[in-house]
Structure 1
Amino acid sequence: MFKNDSILGPCTQSELCFADTHDSDGSSSSSRQSLKNTAKWAASLENLLEDPEGVKRFREFLKKEFSEENVLFWLACEDFKKTQDKKQMQEKAKEIYTTFLSSKASSQVNVEGQSQLNEKILEEPHPLMFQKLQDQIFNLMKYDSYTRFLKSDLFLKHKRTEEEEEDLPDAQTAAKRASRIYNT
């Protein structure tokens, strides 16, 4: 994780903040809210990255693979592109550079062309200044980590849980959820 989570913005319950809520079977109770998403996640990396729960699960997987910095960099770049205020853009550009791209970065990503970036260009940031590097990381994730994620126990467990929940009538599903939540 990087030193300043401000790059990702404030965390809401539907995003990345509820990692410690688990049911008696060890699965996250929050996954019940968006279970039908595993099919969307499997359709494309783009779909996965658009879903806060998908990002959370992908991050869990990447953390185990020691490559979480890739998705964090991609998310930081997405946030950066949405920044309008010049001063805020400068601050975020410097944070992205120091966290992911400098030779002393705490969560350095491995991309071609990062040596061409220096602190001088950070003085005049523009929304697409990291686009080429972000695209490299996206492709690295898409053709490497993402394919392994779809075969991982983490993903397959969520998919099985989704299928089991679909097979239960609504009343049973609610009772099962309540049972897990309250461990009765």
Structure 2
Amino acid sequence: MEHMHDGDSSASSSHQNLKSTTTWAASLENLLEDPEGVKRFREFLKKEFSEENVLFWLACEDFKKTQDKKQMQDKAKEIYMTFLSSKASSQVNVEGQSRLNEKILEEPHPLMFQKLQDQIFNLMKYDSYSRFLKSDFFLKHKRTEEEEEEEKREEDLPDAQSAAKRASRIYNT
């Protein structure tokens, strides 16, 4: 599952990412829609030994978009075996997972994991997310953004000053 949602942060410029922390701090939904936000949140959750929560949530999001029935069966089994089975390698702690038996995996439907996904979302929203916003992971990223913003303003300033100086020289002669 790890390969599914790493997001390539190098593809976006630093100016495009500017103020992403403001967006992330606005809501968990915003954070989860931004590949860089997901990457930072995962790093944080890894340190808290709860990365499986966001991985499960992302896998469910991906699952809901699956159209092909065979692919849906494969993904449903993968989600079950990775996150929900009693032998799962990255088991999430949700109520009702015991009611999900392997028979349901034969006839999957896009919303079959929705209740469990909602539980994990709420767990993250009211637990991990608030700690993330206070964490060094988040605060360091926010400081970096603020420093980049300040540098950008300073870069723009000399051009404006030199244009003003040129203008004053032109009109003073």
Which residue number corresponds to residue 110 of structure 2?
A: 127
Q: Residue 45 of structure 1 contacts residue 146 of structure 1 at CA under 8 Å; is this kept in 2?
A: yes
Q: How many Å apart are 1:89 and its aligned residue?
A: 0.2
How does the TM-score come out when normalised to structure 1? 0.72
1:35: Cα distance to partner? 2.9
Superposed CA offset, 1:142-180 (max 9, x none): 000000000001100111119999998899999999999
| Residues in 1 aligned to 2:105 and 2:57: alpha-carbon distance in whole angstroms | 18
The 8 Å contact of residues 24 and 180 in structure 1, kept in 2 or not, is answered as no
Q: What aligned pairs does 1:140-155 form with structure 2 within 5 A after superposition?
A: 140-155=123-138
Change (3 A) 1:168 1:122: farther
Q: How many residues align?
A: 163
Deviation at 1:182, TM superposition (A): 42
CA distance in 1 between partners of 2:140 and 2:6 (Å): 14
The root-mean-square deviation of aligned C-alpha atoms, in Å, is 8.8
Between the aligned partners of 2:143 and 2:61, the Cα distance in structure 1 is 31
Is this contact kept in 2: 1:101–1:114, CA < 8 A? yes
CA distance in structure 2 between the partners assigned to 1:169 and 1:46 by the alignment = 39
Greater shift after overlay, 35-44 or 171-180?
171-180
Aligned equivalent of 2:172: 183
Structure 2: distance between partners of 1:50 and 1:132: 20
Shift of 1:183: 43
TM-score by length of 2: 0.76
Of Structure 1 and Structure 2, which has the larger fraction of its residues in helix?
2
Q: Is the 8 A contact 1:69 1:108 kept in 2?
A: yes
CA deviation vs aligned residue, 1:117-163 (integer Å, no higher than 9, x gap)? 11100000000000000000000000000000000011001111199
CA contact (8 A) 2:7 2:35 kept: no
Any conservation in 1 of the 2:8–2:35 contact (CA below 8 Å)?
A: no
Q: Which residue in 1 is equivalent to 2:60? A: 77
The 1:32/1:120 distance shift into structure 2, 3 A limit, reads: same
| Aligned residues of 1:35 and 1:158 also touching (Cα < 8 A) | no
Residues 74 and 138 in structure 1, CA contact (< 8 A), matched pair in contact too: yes
8 A contact 1:98–1:104 mirrored in 2: yes
Cα shift readout 1:91-120 (whole Å, capped 9, x = no counterpart): 000000000000000000000000001110
Contact map agreement 1:83 1:89 (CA 8 A) in 2: yes
Distance 1:126 1:44, change over 3 A: same
**What residue in structure 2 maps to residue 28 of structure 1?**
11
The structure with the larger Rg is 2
Cα distance in 1 for residues equivalent to 2:18 and 2:171: 20
- Structure 1 pair 25–54 and aligned structure 2 pair: CA distance change class (3 A): closer
User: Is the CA contact (8 Å cut-off) linking 2:25 and 2:133 kept in structure 1?
Assistant: yes
Q: Which residue of 2 aligns with 1:170?
A: 159
Kindly state the Cα deviation for residue 60 of structure 1 after the two structures are TM-superposed: 0.4
